[in-house]
Amino acid sequence: MDDQIKNIKTLEELQSLYTSVFGKNGTMTARLRDMKNLDNDARAALNAENVLLRELFKTRQAEIENAILMDNLAKQKLDVSLNPVPENRGTLHPLTQSLSEISAILESFGYTRWTGPELEDDWHNFTALNTPAHHPARDMQDTFFLENGNVLRTQTSAIQIRAMESDGVPIKMFGIGSTYRKEMDATHSPMFGQIEGLYVDKGVTMSDLIADVRMFLSRFFEMDDVELRIRPSYFPFTDPSIEIDMKWHGGKWLEVMGAGMVHPNVLRNCGINPDQYQGFAFGFGWDRLAMLKYGLDDIREFYNGDVRWLKNAGF
């Protein structure tokens, strides 16, 4: 019997042998039942045999279980010398990155961040910005009109109106968001990102504007010395209006933003007295600035959602 137990390889076989010995109809069970017919010595021997046999079964069970455990451990062993599978790590989209940089810079200058609705009414997108119905300047932008007369916001200038209406003056804010125009080529996307800066207080001048713009560009493009060129321009909501160019690497002039002193009519439309308060405003495409910063030729790549492009461009 001892050898028989020791040679058993599986728990199932061990269990069935155990049942045949100790089960209800087992051999040992039968012998124990008849113990009363035995003399004392024989009883003691049977008891000892019973105890020993149970012990043997227990030991063999532990051995088999241990062998199974070892076998499983061997199979599950990790080979730590294998090369790891490369992790697919995401990054922030370059526009998101540049947007947070721009916001951080303007906030450090004391500008407060604002957003507004992309579906805008005529008042905020045009009329309050000194561009009433039939004003020729409405043609400066190819607008998406809705049937109810609302528009897809063509400029974040609409946000400066909302900010002044809500908070009054003095105010120093910037509005960010998507803007929409019917145009599409390498430097225009029908949806693009704009940023609008506004500072209205007593005695604000054009030189305050130029100082902030210069500091902003120098921080964003990480250039110590930013050379600017100011050209006269026209926007209905500023007077005088200017276009600001910046000298790029290699001496090339790049147009970076439109700006000017807030038109008195715009202040009046927001309930502000232009005889007491003056201000400046500036507006630019933040995707344009990001294009320059990252050296891209086609603005549409930002919006294609092509992960391979994003990865290859190394953002």
Residues that bind ligand DAH (CB under 6 A): 155, 157, 196, 235, 238, 258-260, 281-283
Residue closest to 61 by CA, chosen among 101, 16, 106 = 16
DSSP class of residue 35?
G
Q: For residue 295, count other CB atoms closer than 10 A to its CB.
A: 8
Q: How many CA atoms lie within 13 A of 53 on its CB side?
A: 19
Question: How is 173-193 classified by DSSP, letter by letter?
Answer: EEEEEEEE-S--BTTB-SEEE
CB of 149 to ligand DAH, least distance (A): 20
Cα torsion angle, 135, 284, 165, 114, sign: positive
For the CB of residue 279, give the shortest distance to ligand DAH in the complex, in Å: 10
Q: What is the DSSP letter of 10?
A: S
Q: Which is nearer to ligand DAH, 98 or 154 (CB)?
A: 154
Mapped onto helix, strand or coil, the DSSP state of residue 236 is coil
Q: In the complex with ligand DAH, which residue's Cβ is closer, 54 or 113?
A: 113
Residue closer to ligand DAH, measured from CB, 129 or 310:
129
What does residue 178 show for φ and ψ, rounded to 5 degrees? -85, 145
Tokens of 61: 């069970």
> Which lies closer to ligand DAH via its Cβ, residue 5 or residue 258?
258
What tokens were used for 129?
């910005």
User: Considering the complex, what minimum distance in angstroms separates the CB of residue 198 from ligand DAH?
Assistant: 7
Which C-beta is closer to ligand DAH: that of 259 or that of 290? 259
Minimal CB distance to ligand DAH: which residue?
Answer: 283
Least distance between ligand DAH and beta carbon 181 (Å): 9
Q: What minimum distance in Å lies between the beta carbon of 139 and ligand DAH?
A: 13
* Closer CB to ligand DAH, 22 or 208, in the complex: 208
Q: Which is nearer to ligand DAH, 282 or 286 (CB)?
A: 282
SS3 content of the chain, % helix, strand, coil (to 5): 45, 20, 35
Min dist CB 150 to ligand DAH, Å, is: 18
- Identity of the residue, 130 or 238, whose beta carbon is nearer to ligand DAH in the bound complex: 238
In DSSP terms, 7 is beta-bridged to none
- Least distance from ligand DAH to the Cβ atom of residue 203, Å: 19
Q: How far is it, in rounded angstroms, from Cα 289 to Cα 305?
A: 19
Least gap, CB of 164 to ligand DAH (angstroms)? 12
Dihedral sign for Cα 157, 159, 165, 167, please: negative
Query: What does DSSP say about strands 191-201 and 278-285: parallel, antiparallel, or unpaired?
Result: antiparallel
